[in-house]
Structure 1
Amino acid sequence: MQMLAPAKINLSLDVLGRRDDGYHQVSMVMQTIALFDRVHVEEVSRSGVFLSGGSSEAPPDRSNLVYRAAALVLARAGRTGGVAIDLVKNIPVAAGLAGGSSDAAITIKLMNRLLGLGWSLAEMEALAAELGSDVPFLIRGGTALASGRGEQLTALPAAPTFWLVVVKPPFGASTPRVYQALGAPPYPGGQHREGATAKVMAALAAGSYGALIAAVGNDLEQVTIGWHQELQELKEALVRHGCDRALMSGSGPTILGFTEHEDVARQAAQAIEQSAYWSGYGVWVAKTLTEQEGNEG
């Protein structure tokens, strides 16, 4: 039994403050896109989790979120049998695209079905929250408001379909380090401000692509781009090559170029790929996904 694990992007990311538990209070709009890993799961007679595939950056060992997700499902379900899982990676690692979180979410969904556990989406989301802040969202995907530390989810109207040029530099960004460097004030407290999230939600309610790309924003951009000025140059290059707007996803360093048109996205992607200046950068083209489109395959 197998499923596709979609990447996610942030249409907004507002950091509201630093919490006492060490996490940050956030308000963000998340969106799944058609850039996928693939997870295959089957029952085996041996007891335990047997993970293969992955990549050098996401090795098939106990540190992998897929392994941790499978072990958690077996333990919570009280099952003594085992599962063999093969993970095919395509989503870049440490890119702000939640590939590992998506792999874990899809593992939970597959094992729920394969083992006949009968868990609801809400039950799977609660289990997913034990693995990381992004994992619950990726149980359903689509478009959602995420609050708290990212695990409190509210479904939103589907975003207008648009295309993205996804560009991953040949370096990563440590999410904890980026948040720490932001220097957010304690939460609750600090000065209230209207961030990008409220504007993005209004644009989604109106179904307006133009309003949406005008509204997108990311509080963490200032930190990661401050460390890597070439990311600002990359944003400008994507716009020069036809994208309507460019934005960093999550804690970065992946940069997204937005356009309504697939041909524009492919032309911009080709321009980046063919430029010697951006040698070593990974480039993909993907469109937005709705929750209903699912991840079978």
Structure 2
Amino acid sequence: MSFLIVSPGKDPQPWIEALKKQHPGLNIYVYPEDHDKEEVEFALVWNHPRGLFKNYPNLKVVASMGAGVDHITSDKELPEHITITKVVDDQLTEDMGDFVLGLVMNHIRRLSIYKEQKKEKSWDRTPYKRPQNVTVGIMGVGVLGSAVGEKLSKNGFNVLGWAKSEKDKKDMNTYCGEEGLEEFLSKSNILVCLLPLTPQTENILNGDLFEKLPKGAYVINVARGEHLVEHDLLEMIGSRHLSGAALDVFKEEPLPERHPFWENPDILITPHIASVTSAESVVPQIIENYEHMKEEELLKNVVERKKGY
């Protein structure tokens, strides 16, 4: 029985070291090194080549290195019997809450303006908003969205949540489905996207949706680049219906040098760093699932394929 790591473009060494520390006897292969495909029953992956796992006859589990699983579920050739798992990690959750709070505070206190004023040695004061006068709408209220909502609520913001199905959250009023979306958007001064990426949520951040936000609303995307229709965002900022955006994720990463986002002063760009997985932190749950697989016990953090998350 062997363990396979597949992570093109990502250094596997920290994962190997953390796995060996947690399970010294583990036999680990790293793709694309030569290995016996029939031995592999468990794979830890990030952005694996499409169709790779149809060649592994005894593979039982494909585990994501992070909270996102769209890089796995988008592989139409992944055999149906394989279980997909994701990472649920307190540190990742805390990091995301801190990051979104930082972006929201930066926006309402208009701190970016002073960075530009410094270049001109300008001493102008700009009006700002207070948390109690700002409503933040969070699209996607799973583990990460709920934690972000709790963090914002504790810091004085009015928080709303929206999800595909009904949710009961103590730190936010929630809306669900198409029938609740318009009211949710109409009240959101700042919109945060934390949705899972599925065929239903791809391109959901588009012109039609933006038009339903209050004039001057601000958009934060920390989910996936594929959620956003980039041209629509630029148009809405250009018309001043939106005051700007903070984007941590993009359809193409790294963001190409000629991309218009780079030149737009109202778009804050960060290089997908909202919450970065630590191998040391999440490997214990990976090994726990590996042991559960061997003992034919229920696995933790299993992804529902029909939902895509």
* Alignment TM class, shorter chain as reference: under 0.3
Higher RCO structure (Cα 8 Å, ≥6 apart): 1
Structure with the greater alpha carbon radius of gyration: 2
| TM superposition score normalised by structure 2 | 0.27
| TM superposition score normalised by structure 1 | 0.28
Structure with greater strand share of residues: 1
